[in-house]
Structure 1
Amino acid sequence: MRVSFTKMHGLGNDFIVLDAREAELPPVDACFARQIADRRTGVGCDQLILLNHSDCADFRMRIFNSDGSEVESCGNASRAVALLHGKPACIETGGGLISAHLSGQDVAVDMGEPQFEWDAIPLAFAMDTLSMPVGWEYLENPVAVNVGNPHAVFFVDNCDAVDLARLGPLIETDPVFPNRVNVNVATVESRAAIRLHVWERGAGLTRACGTGACATAIAAMRRGLVDRTANITLPGGTLTIEWGEDNRITMTGPATIAFTGSFDWDQFA
């Protein structure tokens, strides 16, 4: 069975997009996702994105990390599939309904409302999510926030100096986070600018993480470090995050179609 795909990226965070909205595809599982995401023996990507029919939105987006785990939300992928759709869209995700539209050369996505309750992150037990009383070596007292998926945000003097490749997996899999967690280390540069590095749950170090940018901006806003609109610069580029008075998060940034192709499904099944 020959299947077409679209390779896309948002600031270097790359995806294989499979469109099953019109023609049904065989079931996608963790093993299939791992094999097609492999950069040596597969097509290669950070996330595999599957588009399906939805009864409550224009379409449904399922997201599989390169380790095969299925996750609730992906900000960069949301911009990518909105670009592919080519017009305003309501998108069903595991983290809830989101909406997206083209904004000039960029894509703007309404990422919904952040959640701060300890059991909505979720955490293993009740604690202050604005300054968690936990630490891993010199990374201490993170902000916890759920923006469709769980994030821990650490504010440091120089995020470039943090050994996130070593500390990221330790924090991601700590028992305090029952569903694992995305790990963000951020440096506030002004009332409107933050630098950020992300260890993405199930994918590792990434050039960009849309939900990480949202979570970090919201965390900084909750602590009074930045204004309600901020530019978040990751290794792959910059996203603009706005936390509106209606409590909803808008993420704006680019998305790119890299190339299209096809593969034999049985090769990865």
Structure 2
Amino acid sequence: MTTLVKYHALGNDYLVADPELGAPAPGATATRALCDRRTGVGADGVLYGPLPGPGADPQGTFRVRVFNADGTECARNANGLRIFARYLREHGRTDRDELTLRTAGGDVRVRLGGPATATCTIDLGPWTHRIPTVADGAEMVGVPLEIEPGTTVHATAVHNGVPHLVALVDDATTELAARIGPGIVGYAGFAERPNAELLTVEDRRTLRVRVWERGVGHTPASGSGACAAACAAHRLGLTDPAVTVVMPGGTVGVEITQDERALLSGPTSLVGRVTLADEFVPLLRTRAPR
């Protein structure tokens, strides 16, 4: 019997696939099958873990692998990691309020909100305004990019374990994200495709953000995307260190500390436990890529 646990963070939904609950070995085939919203469980991604490995310990440090819905592996994901920390506490893996999650993008610290685990804070650490490119790794801050004929945006790169391009626009809407988001994600020259965030600064403490993720498309909320937008706005001198980021799924808080670390705080929600049918489990190994 294979059981998964589903959570979401402001509509950004993830499946926790725990080996102790019969979860299959992580990989692209299983992830695509599970995340399909018509023939699978449906999700923006899968969190595989906790996994054995160097540095893991039974209480404070846990290894996890993060996969996007299209089967690509993600170095780390802020909403997904907040969800995973809640899962660990709620399922008796730890009784600590502060955890370290070991990911492909490095170690991440998460602080749970006491006995009520629905709200937690993740420390994404420092960031850079460089995204590796084919030519060089120069900083990108407010650089004009022609995304499509007649459409130029001023983009700021933010790499916080995952690459982002934040485009400052007059009116960040879901419709605009759907139109130019794919062009930002696929913009030529980057060694690794970035996620796209459309950013409108409402005032010095409030940002409006729309997200187009490289492995998912439109998503109602993104933790690392909210942090990227806040870091970009702060670098451009448009905001105070602490801001509220408004996305279609809801709001999160981002604080930029004096030593330039990004702290993300927001809610998570439990959807439920899902037991996979015996006839579905073989598809986790045989499903062909779309």
Deviates more, 1:136-145 or 1:41-50: 136-145
Partners of 1:36 and 1:42 within 8 A in 2 = yes
3-state SS, counterpart of residue 173 of structure 2: helix
Deviates more, 1:209-218 or 1:52-61: 52-61
Q: How does 1:23-102 map to 2 (within 5 A)?
A: 25-51=23-49, 52-57=51-56, 58-86=61-89, 87=96, 88-102=98-112
Partners of 1:124 and 1:175 within 8 A in 2 = no
Equivalent residue letter for 2:135:
F
Partners of 2:144 and 2:152 within 8 A in 1 = no
Partners of 2:7 and 2:14 within 8 A in 1 = yes
State the distance in 2 between where 1:27 and 1:83 align: 22
The structure-2 alpha-carbon separation of the partners of 1:25 and 1:162, relative to structure 1 and needing over 3 Å to count, comes to closer
State the distance in 1 between where 2:283 and 2:167 align: 42
Alignment match, 1:5 = 4
Alignment match, 1:266 = 282
Q: How does 1:1-269 map to 2 (within 5 A)?
A: 2-20=1-19, 22=20, 25-51=23-49, 52-57=51-56, 58-86=61-89, 87=96, 88-103=98-113, 105-116=118-129, 118=130, 121-126=131-136, 127-137=138-148, 138-160=151-173, 163-263=176-276, 264=278, 265-269=281-285
3-state SS, counterpart of residue 68 of structure 1: coil
CA RMSD of aligned residues (A): 1.7
The structure-2 alpha-carbon separation of the partners of 1:93 and 1:161, relative to structure 1 and needing over 3 Å to count, comes to closer
State the distance in 2 between where 1:17 and 1:168 align: 28
Once the two structures are superposed, residues 118-150 of structure 1 have per-residue CA deviations (whole angstroms, 9 ceiling, x without a partner) of 3xx222333441123422143422000101100
The structure-2 alpha-carbon separation of the partners of 1:215 and 1:68, relative to structure 1 and needing over 3 Å to count, comes to same
State the distance in 2 between where 1:199 and 1:23 align: 32
State the distance in 1 between where 2:264 and 2:52 align: 24
State the distance in 1 between where 2:45 and 2:208 align: 23
State the distance in 1 between where 2:274 and 2:174 align: 39
TM-score normalised by the chain length of structure 2: 0.86
Q: 5+ residue gaps in structure 2?
A: 90-95, 286-290
State the distance in 2 between where 1:141 and 1:124 align: 20
The alpha-carbon deviation at position 25 of structure 1 amounts to 4.8
TM-score normalised by the chain length of structure 1: 0.92
Equivalent residue letter for 2:141:
L
The alpha-carbon deviation at position 231 of structure 1 amounts to 0.6
Question: Larger radius of gyration, structure 1 or 2?
Answer: 2
Runs of at least 4 residues of structure 1 off by over 6 A? none
Equivalent residue letter for 2:113:
S
State the distance in 2 between where 1:16 and 1:129 align: 34
State the distance in 2 between where 1:66 and 1:34 align: 6
State the distance in 1 between where 2:79 and 2:67 align: 13
State the distance in 2 between where 1:188 and 1:133 align: 18
The structure-2 alpha-carbon separation of the partners of 1:207 and 1:23, relative to structure 1 and needing over 3 Å to count, comes to closer
Deviates more, 1:258-267 or 1:177-186: 258-267
Partners of 1:54 and 1:92 within 8 A in 2 = no
The alpha-carbon deviation at position 3 of structure 1 amounts to 1.1
Once the two structures are superposed, residues 208-254 of structure 1 have per-residue CA deviations (whole angstroms, 9 ceiling, x without a partner) of 00000000000000001001111111100111011111221110000
Partners of 1:99 and 1:111 within 8 A in 2 = yes
